[in-house]
């Protein structure tokens, strides 16, 4: 441990450890967007040496707060005080120069460059002719110290999600971060890997830095944070020390009402799945990425009527390509896909959609919505089957979805781009649930959603399967979700299905082992 | 330290769809008048008089109608983010086919049918010419901007070759041009103007149809989504390639139709070189489409302003105050100020201390 702390990476922050003054203070921050107050008079201190969890449901203002700290937004009112000095953070570069570094949920790395090349970008101190080997030892040391294998010379494209997140964090450390803004970056990792990152955060704060952990998971906040700040509808409704925080209290703060404590209640199952017709049949599927190597390697699976088949795995193990091949967005190299008995292999989305496929994509902004169009238009694009759009009907339907899913939007005619990430996701999920007739392919359907909304979406997916006999292929990086929702669980690792489990007889540890093996 | 920070507006500028075109036109005219004053000592006051008179001239109506149609053609493409710079070529292909029917086929002698055939054939020719670029864009991945632009010249020269050679007329007094088309094909003048009844009717029919298409049909919605997120369109089960071809096809059809109308109404024949024969409506239409903020309802007004500025330029040319460049000066200035105003409608500059 001491060797770790003497490391240059951490030494630059230690001088702050003796100060009791906050590293960063927010004073009366207000930020408005059309129709919504994203942040309402929020004051918050971030102290050296602490892990502060920023907790809140969708649209509570977490992202807005982080974007203000990182210089992406400027507040309408209020001030930001950095190291005792009133500061306007003008841009991410400015934020980084002040030691405030963001670790985003999805790593912003250049796939074709090596880890070291990615890291040396932006490190000005090494000059124009910086050589990557200058930082190699440090990178190896950090990786080794927390026990994640990482070859710094390999291209980023070959890394797992865990490794990429590690690279993101190492970059933040090399940028001499004093305040790490961790935006859901650890939320999706398997629990064992999560712990490793928590250790890293702990060491970082021991060196005098602070970590702001943005999360919508109460459990994660309680597990790792020293203090928990809860945001609700743009207001800071409480800051609690971990020692005094109880799950129920935090939940109550977050959602403003007592959440019935049956969050883990088993969902209803379809009976006699085994006798049901096969909705989806995938045989020996091989899919390659654009630069040629196979990312899906001989996957076979089937989904029956009314059955939810969950695919568990760490992000980047071929899930995206598998899903895209099934939906019809990419052509597989080998193998076959049958939907309702019809061969749809490589025949495009037109056919699969015609056969009643619903698709909740992993990248909603790309494949799920058109942000310049209104909510109504985004619904109509898939709902209307005729040539003429009856807007009154679409409007009624949209209003119903907005009510049912509690989408925070002034009306159905606002462009989707004014919605928060979670609300945007609700629009998309509600639409796909409404239109799926044979198979629903859901890839991380609740990733951007808070507990209550996620709950609702899971229940709706279940109801779709039980009530309408729709088959569901659930691909999720959230193992809890897979366990909760699935009838059958497949584990994917490096593009192969490495395990098949009945959801009633399954050990979580066994699945996690297979996921990281 | 004082900073100037450029920020994206979180809320669109109120009344931007009116403010942007109006401000850009005013500033554009102001800019042109400064340039004209400095270059040719034309007193701004006289220039403004001239402009005011142009706006009330009865000759403006003809160009307004023609440019509204070209504007419609381009709005279809631009809404879908398909940058059709080739309305000029599609216009001439429409004119080419209409000329052929009018001069060399027996249909030309049938009263009403002849006109309709010419106009529809013009539409088909324009559509096919645009689809050429559409197919290259959709299936080969060639950018439509250079392709449509270059096809303009191909269209010019094809028509030039025909007029210079096989189509050269017998009664041309030494000019290189075709014969006049039969009189029963000529369009009917709207009394007191230089505009034609048939063109006005086409504006109304096509305008309403396009407005309806964008507002009430799934195709219109898909074209708009194509303009903002084609990947989503693909994931929702629409053949994006077909939509690209369709956008260009519809756009070209209207431009081609205008080419035919222009032949029947105004020129009655094609003269060599064809590229000097018209005002470059295909290019002027780009300005019209942008000034309308891609709103079908705003097109006639945008077309009216551009036509009036064009008339101003022509009047000055006739008065010997300058060459053809004066028209381009007005158009260029307005397009420039429009681009700047559009940026400021989306971004704001904040002073920070």
Q: Over range A196-223, report the average pLDDT.
A: 88
Question: Is B107 inside a domain boundary?
Answer: yes
> What is the per-residue pLDDT for A35?
66
B209, B216, B220, B229, best to mutate vs chain A, most A CBs in 10 Å: B229
Q: Does residue A5 have a pLDDT over 70?
A: no
Across the interface, whether the CB atoms of B236 and A382 are under 8 A apart is answered yes
Number of domains in chain B: 1
The whole-number pLDDT of residue B303 equals 95
B212 contacts in A (CB within 8 Å)?
Answer: none
CA distance A242 to A222: 6
* pLDDT(A211) > 50: yes
Predicted pLDDT of residue A8: 42
How many angstroms away from the CA of B68 is the closest CA of chain A? 26
Q: Do A382 and B10 touch (CB under 8 A)?
A: no
Chain A and chain B share a number of CB contacts under 8 A equal to: 83
Counting Cβ atoms within 10 Å, is residue A470 exposed (0-12), middle (13-18) or buried (19+)?
buried
pLDDT at A216 over 90: no
Q: How many CB atoms lie within 10 A of CB B176?
A: 15
Of A359, A373, A386, the CB nearest to B225: A373
Q: Residue A257: count other Cβ atoms within 10 Å of its Cβ.
A: 9
pLDDT value of position A329:
95
pLDDT at B60: 92
Establish if B116 belongs to a structural domain: yes
Pairwise CB contact (< 8 Å): B239 & A348: yes
The yes-or-no verdict on residue A210 having pLDDT over 50 is: yes
- Is residue A507 very low, low, confident or very high in pLDDT (cuts 50, 70, 90)? confident
Cβ-based contacts of A384 with chain B (< 8 Å): 218, 221
To the nearest 10°, report the CA torsion of B62, B310, B210, B242: 120
Average pLDDT over residues A4-25: 54
By the CB < 8 Å criterion, does B8 face chain A? no
- Closest chain B residue to A350, measured at CA: B237
Tell me whether residues A354 and B221 touch, CB distance under 8 A: no
CB contacts of A352 in chain B (<8 Å) are 237
Which residues of A make CB contacts under 8 Å with B? 32-34, 74, 88, 90, 327, 329, 348-350, 352-354, 359, 361, 366-373, 377, 380-382, 384, 386-389, 391
Task: Tell me the pLDDT tens digit for each residue of A117-148.
Answer: 888 887 777 766 667 777 888 888 888 887 88
Cβ contact (<8 Å) for B217 and A90?
no
With beta carbons less than 8 A apart as the criterion, state whether B7 and A74 touch.
yes
The residue that leads in pLDDT, B8 or B150, is: B150
B347 occurs within a structural domain? no
| Cβ distance of A369 and B216 shorter than 8 Å | no
Answer whether residue B330 is part of any domain.
no
Phi-psi region of A47 (alpha: psi -120 to 50; beta: other; left: phi over 0): beta
CB contact under 8 A, A389 and B217: yes
CA distance A116 to chain B (A): 33
Tell me the C-alpha to C-alpha distance, in Å, between residue B295 and each of A458, B17, B79, B214. Answer: 42, 9, 9, 10
Closest by CA to A218, choosing from A260, A243, A187, A189, is A187
Residues of B in contact with A354 (CB under 8 A): 237
The alpha carbon dihedral of A142, A144, A147, A152 has a sign of positive
Q: What torsion, rounded to 10 degrees, do the Cα atoms A201, A203, A209, A211 define?
A: 10
Residues B220-259: pLDDT tens digits? 999 999 999 999 999 999 999 999 999 999 999 999 999 9
Question: Residue A472 — pLDDT band, cuts 50, 70, 90?
Answer: very high
Average pLDDT over chain A reads 85
Helix (H) or strand (E) holding B230: helix B230-235
Rounded mean pLDDT of A487-508?
90
Interchain proximity B11–A359, CB inside 8 Å: no
State residue A307's pLDDT score: 93
Nearest to A373 among B219, B224, B238 (CB): B224
Q: Which of B232, B242, B293 to mutate to test the interface with A (most CBs of A within 10 A)?
A: B232
ipTM attached to this prediction: 0.86
Q: Is residue B267 part of a domain?
A: yes
Cβ atoms of residues A95 and A103 within 8 Å: no
- Compare CB distances from A369 to B10, B222, B232 and report the shortest one's residue: B232
Residue B244 within a domain: yes
Question: Residue B212 domain-assigned?
Answer: yes
> Which residues in chain A touch residue B236, judged by CB atoms under 8 angstroms apart?
349, 353, 381-382
**pLDDT (tens digit, 9 = 90+) per residue, A327-340?**
999 999 999 999 99
Which CATH superfamily groups domain A2-255?
P-loop containing nucleotide triphosphate hydrolases (3.40.50.300)
Q: Is the pLDDT of residue A342 over 60?
A: yes
pLDDT of the residue at B353: 61
List chain B residues with CB under 8 Å of A389. 216-218, 221
- Above pLDDT 70, what percent of chain A? 90
Instruction: Quote the pLDDT of residue A6.
Output: 39
- Mean predicted confidence (pLDDT) in B338-352: 83
Please report residues of A whose CB lies closer than 8 A to that of B216. Answer: 388-389, 391
Inform me whether the pLDDT recorded for B112 exceeds 70: yes
Name the closest residue on chain A to residue B238, using Cα atoms: A350
Averaged pLDDT, A290-319: 88
CB B348 within 8 A of CB B7: yes
Average pLDDT over residues A245-270: 66
Q: What is the mean predicted confidence (pLDDT) over B108-133?
A: 95
The architecture of the domain spanning A276-356+436-516 is 3-Layer(aba) Sandwich (3.40)
- Residue-range definition of the domain harbouring residue B73: 64-298
Query: Is A384 within 8 Å of B218 when comparing Cβ atoms?
Result: yes
Q: What is the largest CA-CA distance in chain A?
A: 71
Judge: A373–B218 Cβ closer than 8 Å, yes or no.
no
> In angstroms, what separates the C-alpha of B8 from chain A's closest C-alpha?
10
Model confidence at A10: pLDDT above 60: no
Closest CA to A226 of A415, A446, A52: A52
* Chain B neighbors of A360, CB-CB under 8 A: none
Average pLDDT over residues B27-45: 87
Interfacial B residues in 228-257 facing A (CB < 8 Å): 228-229, 231-239
Cα A302 to Cα A490: distance, rounded to the nearest angstrom: 11
- What integer pLDDT is reported at residue A127 of this predicted model? 66
Residues of chain A with CATH 3.40.50.300: 2-255, 276-356+436-516
How distant is the alpha carbon of residue B105 from its chain centre? Answer: 29
Q: State the average pLDDT over residues A454-483.
A: 90
Please indicate whether, in this complex, the C-beta atoms of A74 and B239 are within 8 angstroms of each other: no
Which range of A9-18, A313-322, A463-472 scores highest in mean pLDDT? It is A463-472
Burial class (CB in 10 A: 0-12, 13-18, 19+), A113: middle
What is the mean predicted confidence (pLDDT) over A4-15?
40
Check whether A18 has a pLDDT greater than 50: no
Does B11 have pLDDT greater than 90?
A: no
Rounded mean pLDDT of A310-322? 89
Q: Is position B254 within any domain?
A: yes
Smallest Cα distance from B113 to chain A, Å: 31
The position carrying tokens 């490096």 is: A494
Pick from B218, B228, B296: nearest CA to B82: B228
Among A258-267, A370-379, B161-170, B282-291, whose mean pLDDT is lowest? A258-267
């Amino acid at each position: 441990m001491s060797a770790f702390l003497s490391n240059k990476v951490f030494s630059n922050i230690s001088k702050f450890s003796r100060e009791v003054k906050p590293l960063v203070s927010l004073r009366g921050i207000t930020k408005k967007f059309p129709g919504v107050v994203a942040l309402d008079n929020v004051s918050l201190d971030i102290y050296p040496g602490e892990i502060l969890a920023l907790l809140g449901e969708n649209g509570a203002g977490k992202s807005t707060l982080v974007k203000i700290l990182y210089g992406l937004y400027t507040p309408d009112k209020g001030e930001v005080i950095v190291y005792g000095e009133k500061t306007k953070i003008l841009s991410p570069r400015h934020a980084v120069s002040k030691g405030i570094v963001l670790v985003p949920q999805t790593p912003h790395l250049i796939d074709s460059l090596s880890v070291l090349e990615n890291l040396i970008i932006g490190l000005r101190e090494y000059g124009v002719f910086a050589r990557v080997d200058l930082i190699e030892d440090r990178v190896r040391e950090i990786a080794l110290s927390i026990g994640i294998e990482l070859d710094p010379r390999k291209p980023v494209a070959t890394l797992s999600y865990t490794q990429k997140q590690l690279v993101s964090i190492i970059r933040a450390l090399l940028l001499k971060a004093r305040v790490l803004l961790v935006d859901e970056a650890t939320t999706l990792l398997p629990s064992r890997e999560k712990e490793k990152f928590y250790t890293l955060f702990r060491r970082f704060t021991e060196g005098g830095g602070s970590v702001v952990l943005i999360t919508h998971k109460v459990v994660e906040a309680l597990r790792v944070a020293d203090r928990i700040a809860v945001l609700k509808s743009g207001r800071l409704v409480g800051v609690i020390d971990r020692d005094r925080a109880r799950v129920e209290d935090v939940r109550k703060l977050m959602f403003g009402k007592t959440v019935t404590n049956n969050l883990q209640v088993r969902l209803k199952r379809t009976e006699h799945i085994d006798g049901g017709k096969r909705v989806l049949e995938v045989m020996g599927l091989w899919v390659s990425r654009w630069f040629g190597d196979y990312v899906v390697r001989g996957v076979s699976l089937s989904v029956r009527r009314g059955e939810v088949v969950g695919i568990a795995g760490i992000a980047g193990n071929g899930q995206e390509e598998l899903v895209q091949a099934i939906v019809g967005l990419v052509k597989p190299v080998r193998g076959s896909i049958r939907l309702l008995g019809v061969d749809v292999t490589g025949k495009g989305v037109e056919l699969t959609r015609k056969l009643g496929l619903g698709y909740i994509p992993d990248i909603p902004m790309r494949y799920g919505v058109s942000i310049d169009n209104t909510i109504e238009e985004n619904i109509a694009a898939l709902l209307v089957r005729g040539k003429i759009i009856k807007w009154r009907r679409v409007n009624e339907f949209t209003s119903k979805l907005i009510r049912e899913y509690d989408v925070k939007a002034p009306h159905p005619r606002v462009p989707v781009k004014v919605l928060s990430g979670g609300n945007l996701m609700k629009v998309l999920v509600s639409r796909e649930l409404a239109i799926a007739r044979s198979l629903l392919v859901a890839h991380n359907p609740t990733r951007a959603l808070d507990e209550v909304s996620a709950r609702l979406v899971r229940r709706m997916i279940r109801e779709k399967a039980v009530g309408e006999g729709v088959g569901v292929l659930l691909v999720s990086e959230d193992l809890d979700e897979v366990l909760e929702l699935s009838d059958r669980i497949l584990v994917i690792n490096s593009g192969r299905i490495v395990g098949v489990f009945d959801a009633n007889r399954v050990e979580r540890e066994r699945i996690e082992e297979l996921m990281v093996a | 330290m004082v900073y100037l920070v450029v920020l994206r507006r979180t809320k669109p500028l109120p009344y931007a769809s009116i403010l942007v075109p109006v401000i850009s036109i005013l500033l554009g005219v102001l800019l042109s008048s400064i340039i004209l004053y400095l270059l040719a000592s034309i007193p701004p006051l006289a220039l403004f008089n001239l402009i005011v008179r142009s706006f009330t001239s009865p000759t403006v109506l003809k160009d307004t109608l023609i440019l509204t149609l070209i504007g419609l053609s381009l709005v279809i493409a631009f809404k879908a983010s398909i940058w059709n710079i080739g309305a000029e070529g599609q216009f001439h292909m429409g004119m080419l086919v209409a000329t052929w029917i009018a001069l060399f086929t027996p249909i030309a002698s049938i009263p009403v049918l002849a006109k309709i055939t010419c106009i529809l054939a013009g539409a088909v020719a324009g559509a096919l010419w645009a689809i050429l670029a559409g197919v290259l864009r959709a299936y080969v991945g060639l950018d439509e901007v250079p392709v449509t632009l270059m096809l303009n010249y191909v269209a010019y020269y094809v028509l030039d070759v025909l007029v210079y050679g096989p189509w050269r007329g017998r009664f041309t007094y030494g000019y290189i041009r075709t014969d006049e088309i039969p009189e029963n094909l000529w369009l009917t003048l709207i009394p007191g103007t230089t505009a034609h009844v048939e063109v006005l009717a086409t504006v109304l029919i096509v305008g309403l149809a396009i407005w309806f298409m964008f507002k009430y049909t799934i195709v219109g919605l898909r074209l708009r989504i194509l303009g903002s997120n084609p990947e989503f369109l693909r994931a929702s089960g629409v053949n994006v390639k077909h939509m690209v071809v369709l956008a260009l096809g519809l756009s070209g059809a209207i431009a081609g139709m205008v080419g035919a109308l222009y032949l029947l109404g105004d020129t009655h024949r094609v003269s060599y070189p064809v590229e000097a024969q018209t005002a470059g409506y295909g290019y002027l239409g780009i300005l019209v489409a942008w000034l309308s903020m891609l709103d079908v309802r705003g097109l006639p007004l945008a077309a009216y302003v551009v036509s009036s500025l064009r008339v101003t330029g022509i009047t000055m040319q006739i008065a010997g105050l300058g060459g053809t460049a004066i028209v381009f000066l007005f158009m260029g200035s307005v397009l420039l100020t429009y681009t700047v105003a559009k940026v400021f409608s989306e971004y704001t500059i904040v002073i920070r201390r």
